[in-house]
Structure 1
């Protein structure tokens, strides 16, 4: 099963729904995590617009004003949800990967811009990691980097990076290489802007 994650910078812009649908189709994605929808009370019809005509399930978190907002959508024939935990900064969905008899915990995260608030999110996730069994997959926008080389066009904060690296180590997480560009975001008109 393929997974995708995209920071939308607002779900309401023209072309964004078709871009997400094409991403799902072109990469045979069974579970997508969207960050920064910047929408509250997003109707089912809007959410359906991000998916194709096949069956889908989802969990969402409303934006706080024009900040944040999360949406996780998946194919229920590939992933069967057993539980969910919703927080302003993450969606945790636990379920079974169909045909694999594998319990999987998928966390869609949009971390706060404040380093102190990010550390609180890392602590919450560590507590959940200790109490929620299964293989974990954490994807999204961490608003943090691990090493100076990952920070582009902004200042590197070694203290926040150390807390982030400690979170990754304590949680027993592994970083996997991703396809595509290192730094990518979606502009307001639904076009992909690639920084590197």
Structure 2
């Protein structure tokens, strides 16, 4: 499945399911911009954090509905993205975390 096919598949999930948060792994994309995410999300009203791909592998993208979640801080490294913020209707801080691991079994943490 090509890049457009994958993006279309994700767009259909977002359109049909209307998630508050979606995490995408193996984006195989360098740095994505607001316009790219807007096309994927299907409009405005989103926030996102990303870990760009390294060459033609990896890449993490975390997108959230800004009517539901307000990001206060984001961080990460080559294996995760963590976003701290406020979730509508919940008192206290909420963390959204997306984890990934290398594909080679020897590199995985047990």
Normalised TM-score (structure 2): 0.86
**Structure 2 counterpart of 1:45:** 35
**How far, CA to CA, are the matches of 1:117 and 1:104 in structure 2?**
30
* Candidates 35, 47, 52, aligned match of 1:57: 47
- Kindly tell me the number of residue pairs found equivalent between the two proteins: 110
Equivalent position to 1:29, from 15, 19, 44: 19
Residue 9 of structure 2 corresponds to residue 19 of structure 1 = yes
Aligned residue in 2 for 1:72: 62
CA RMSD, aligned part only? 1.9
Q: Which runs of 5+ in 1 are unaligned?
A: 1-8, 120-162, 164-196
- Residue 107 of structure 1: aligned partner: 97
**Structure 2: 5+ residue runs without aligned partners?**
none
* CA drift at 1:28: 2.4
Q: Cα distance, 1:102 vs. partner?
A: 4.1
Contact 2:38 2:44 in 1 (8 A): no
